[in-house]
Structure 1
Amino acid sequence: MRIDVLSLFPDMFTGVFGQSILKLAQEKGLVSLNVTDFRTYSTNKHSRVDDYPYGGGAGMVLTPQPIFDAVEDVKQPDAKARVVLLCPQGEPYTQAKAEEFAKEEQLILICGHYEGYDERIRTHLVTDEISLGDYVLTGGELGAMVIVDSVTRLLKGALGNEESAQTDSFSTGMLEHPQYTRPAEFRGLEVPEVLLSGHHGRIEEWRTKESLKRTFERRPELIKEEFLTREQQEWIKEWKKEM
């Protein structure tokens, strides 16, 4: 897979892309991560990439020419690239979208700055608009890092244990169950006995129940009751009585 990031501040990505899973995935040849300063594509004699908005208003707007040229240059001839615009108006980013992106041959992520983008970038260049949440950042760089990380870790061979990605929160539709490790007792706090039992059936039932309970308590909107077993529906009824 190839991921290209278009940014005015490419040095921001050096540390992130050179560490941990992202570094290992590149070394294994699973992903190629490339960062391009789209200012270098400006045909303006001062290398400007922004201008005042028509009709007046506060701030500056990114002009289309440098971004169009940069996207066209990095796009691979035989790949069906997804061109992603990072912006507050975009679709909220989810694990499902990460899984969708991970199936692509190439992602091109555009990091904005200033007041916004020339609308022609939205309407004639990008395939997706993505937002990390209902807040505004200085630029799209941090959002791009999040997307690159969340997509790369889903690539086959990126994680030491392939099951890790499959059981992450949101991958199953519910939040992940509580996790424990050694020691079995720490400052009087003990690991649940069932996890020490060695009984795989009981352990799996406990994890399923705790996952559902955590989702019920923290993110109830994620639960689709029509897909629950009768026993799981009974658990929820009991938890509602305790509220």
Structure 2
Amino acid sequence: MRIDVLTLFPEMFDGVFGASILGKARDKGIVGLNAVNFRNYANNKHNTVDDYPYGGGGGMVLKPEPLFAAVEDLAPDGAKAPRVILMCPQGETFTQSKAEELSKEEHLVFVCGHYEGYDERIREHLVTDEISIGDYVLTGGELPAMTVIDSVVRLLPGVLGNENSAVTDSFSTGLLEYPHYTRPAVFRGWEVPDVLLSGHHANVEAWRREQSLLRTLQRRPELLEQVELTKKERAWLNNLTAAEPEPKKR
């Protein structure tokens, strides 16, 4: 996979692209990671990339010319068109399923904005996706882009040491992940559940599934509406819900 990031602050990506999982993936040649300053594509001597909005109002708006020129340069004629992803609070909320979808692409281009916003023609005629990482405001699109890139790259074959790790992560199955334990078996009187020490793989898997269901019920019950459950699992969850005490009235 090739990933290009269009940003006014490419130095922000130096540490992120060179360390941990992303750095190892790049070193292995699994992914190419590039941060490109789209100011270099400005079409005037002052390298201006923003201007005042038509109709008045506060803030500055990113001009279309530099971003169109940058994307066209990164995806020359004859090459497969990349997915061009605009990081913005108006986009669809990023999810694990979106990460899985993007991980199947060959070339991703992320557009990171600053200032008041983007010229609408960028949305309408350049980008293929608009993504938000949550209902809050950040200074620019760089941190959200890093989040999405990390989530996508770790799904690529060969990136993680254990290929099963990504499969069992929270949200990959639609549920929150089950609890984990490691040595020592007893720490300050707190013991690892016996089933994990039993060596009985079927029982361990059943316990992990049950714990994922329980944790999801307790912390993110709305996720259960999207998960395919057996009749036995649904009955078990319904019994747990019915057994919960009602909140005390004030």
* Same fold? TM cut 0.5: yes
- Where in structure 2 are there 5+ consecutive unaligned residues? 245-250
Aligned to 1:103: 104
Q: Which runs of 4+ in 1 moved over 4 A?
A: none
Aligned to 1:70: 70
Instruction: Give the conservation status (yes or no) of the 8 Å contact 1:80–1:104.
Output: no
Aligned-residue offset at 1:51: 0.6
After TM superposition, the score normalised by the length of structure 1 is 0.97
Aligned-residue offset at 1:137: 0.5
Aligned-residue offset at 1:235: 1.5
Aligned-residue offset at 1:65: 0.5
1:219-241: CA deviations, max 9, x gaps? 11111377211220122112102
- Where in structure 1 are there 5+ consecutive unaligned residues? none
Tell me, in whole angstroms, the C-alpha distance in 1 between the residues paired with 2:31 and 2:45.
35
After TM superposition, the score normalised by the length of structure 2 is 0.95
Q: How does 1:36-47 map to 2 (within 5 A)?
A: 36-47=36-47
1:62-99: CA deviations, max 9, x gaps? 00011110111112542231000000000000000000
Aligned-residue offset at 1:159: 0.4
Q: How does 1:156-175 map to 2 (within 5 A)?
A: 156-175=157-176
1:152-197: CA deviations, max 9, x gaps? 1000000000000111111111110011111111111111111111
Are the structure 2 counterparts of residues 42 and 226 from structure 1 closer, same or farther at C-alpha, using a change threshold of 3 Å? closer
1:27-61: CA deviations, max 9, x gaps? 11110001100001111221111111000111110
C-alpha RMSD over aligned residues? 1.1
Q: How many pairs align?
A: 243
The one-letter amino acid paired with 2:183 is R
Are the structure 2 counterparts of residues 62 and 225 from structure 1 closer, same or farther at C-alpha, using a change threshold of 3 Å? closer
Instruction: Give the conservation status (yes or no) of the 8 Å contact 1:80–1:105.
Output: no
